[in-house]
Amino acid sequence: MNWIFERAKPFSQDAKMSALRRQLQLTKPQGSLGELESLVVHLAGLQGVDRPHIRAPWVTIFAADHGIATEGVSAYPQEVTFQMVANFAAGGAAASVLAKQHNARFEIVDVGVIGDTSVFPSVFVQKVAAGTQNCLHHAAMTDLQLKQAMKAGAEAAARAQAGYADLFIAGEMGIGNTTIASALLAALANVPIEQVTGAGTGISSEKIAYKQSVIQKILSCHSHSLSVTEKLAAMGGFEVVAMAGAYIRAAQLGMPILVDGFISSVAALYACNINHSVREWLFFGHLSDERAHQLVLDLMGAKPMLALNMRLGEASGALMALPILRLACELHEQMATFAEAGVANKET
Ligand SMILES: Cc1cc2ncn([C@H]3O[C@H](COP(=O)(O)O)[C@@H](O)[C@H]3O)c2cc1C
Ligand SMILES: O=C(O)c1cccnc1
């Protein structure tokens, strides 16, 4: 699995500088488009052009079940993972609707759902196993399974590149995965369990206290001295590992990435901890209402584009932010310069 350590594609300082020069010529007070300016200038450096575009966004939803779901940590039953895969395939999930609106390529990859998803059209079945082990009692996955899940993610990024994608978005579906993401976060962040635990699908405050005790037990069950990849294998989530693999590979292939909410940000945090060069390829779509999302973003020095109190996952927050990134590109390309419009520029 040495590929995970290979450097991401280098960023073009030249393209960034020429995009920045163009921004200074456009008919607006300098800096008046705020974050839209920084976003497009950074995208220019990533795409290596002075006028970047997002013409072919790509969405892969990674779905998997979790042994921890049997501990009653979610507001919804475990079967929902399988049932939602059917819903994604039929076009009825939030992410399906948004991807269609944006003409984004949309695929679902089953990396570990309990049940036969091969009956649904547009589902890639790359099942590592039918759900992870309960990480309260065992490692969630073996070393081999970790490699398989990473590879499934890398293959999605490679399919996206082969499909000429110019933006990669990963989403997830897996009942119980906020518990796993919180445990993974606590294992890296060294903060009190209360700070990493949220309501997930909407559990009560009493159940959050119980969820915290489960997360505490998960952490005490696994050694503190594990490496970053060993932590991923110990606590798991096939879909979380696949997202981390997809982010690493997308960055290596030179595809900018738009990260979604809490679960995908934890996957991104692990990807960056494995391979620091991934960080500059990441844009962050939104701030999720899940309690610990701000902490994850802070750990990566990340600024989300939107804050709409969403807490769904699935790539839905990233897909809400996609038009903003696209409109930033349109402004950058189509606005007139001071010279073109005959408008007097700032006095120097
Ligand atoms: C119908 C439904 C659709 C979803 N789409 C995403 N999630 C989100 O909720 C789950 C995580 O929350 P927890 O850890 O509390 O189970 C994940 O599947 C996540 O993608 C959903 C959850 C439900 C119930
Ligand atoms: O922000 C997320 O990714 C999230 C929040 C709650 C439930 N599922 C996902």
Asked if residue 132 has its Cβ within 6 Å of ligand 1, the reply is no
CA–CA distance, 82 with 340 (Å, rounded to integer): 56
pLDDT digits (tens, 9 = 90+) for 87-114: 999 999 999 999 999 999 999 999 999 9
Asked if residue 275 has its Cβ within 6 Å of ligand 1, the reply is no
Asked if residue 201 has its Cβ within 6 Å of ligand 1, the reply is yes
Closest by Cα among 257, 297, 302 to 281 = 257
pLDDT digits (tens, 9 = 90+) for 303-345: 999 999 999 999 999 999 999 999 999 999 999 999 999 999 9
Report the 10 Å Cβ neighbour count for 98. Answer: 23
Task: Give the closest residue (by CA) to ligand 2 atom 7.
Answer: 200
**The pLDDT of residue 258 is above 90:** yes
Could you tell me how far CA 26 lies from the centroid of its own chain? 32
Asked if residue 311 has its Cβ within 6 Å of ligand 2, the reply is yes
CA–CA distance, 332 with 2 (Å, rounded to integer): 39
**The pLDDT of residue 348 is above 80:** no
- Residues 114-118: contacts with CB under 8 Å, at least 24 apart: 114/65, 114/78, 114/81, 114/82, 115/79, 115/82, 117/63, 117/82, 117/85, 117/86
pTM for this entry: 0.98
Mean pLDDT in residue range 254-283: 98
Active-site residue list: 314
**The pLDDT of residue 247 is above 90:** yes
- Residue 331's pLDDT is 98
Q: Do residues 322 and 258 lie in contact, with contact meaning Cβ atoms separated by under 8 Å? A: yes
ipTM value of the model? 0.99
Q: Do residues 254 and 46 lie in contact, with contact meaning Cβ atoms separated by under 8 Å? A: yes
347 pLDDT band, cuts 50/70/90, is confident
Mean pLDDT in residue range 278-286: 98
Task: Give the closest residue (by CA) to ligand 2 atom 4.
Answer: 313
18 pLDDT band, cuts 50/70/90, is very high
Q: Ligand 2 center to residue 339 CA distance, Å?
A: 47
121 pLDDT band, cuts 50/70/90, is confident
Asked if residue 71 has its Cβ within 6 Å of ligand 1, the reply is no
Pocket perturbation via mutation, ligand 2, pick of 264, 311, 314, 319 by most ligand atoms within 8 A of CB:
311
Q: Which ligand is nearest to the CA of 179?
A: 1
Asked if residue 87 has its Cβ within 6 Å of ligand 1, the reply is no
Classify strands 167-173 and 123-125 as parallel, antiparallel or unpaired.
Answer: unpaired
Q: Ligand 1 center to residue 163 CA distance, Å?
A: 29
**The pLDDT of residue 250 is above 80:** yes
Q: Which ligand is nearest to the CA of 318?
A: 2
Q: Ligand 2 center to residue 317 CA distance, Å?
A: 9
Atom of ligand 1 nearest to the CA of 180: 14
**The pLDDT of residue 226 is above 80:** yes
Q: Ligand 1 center to residue 175 CA distance, Å?
A: 5
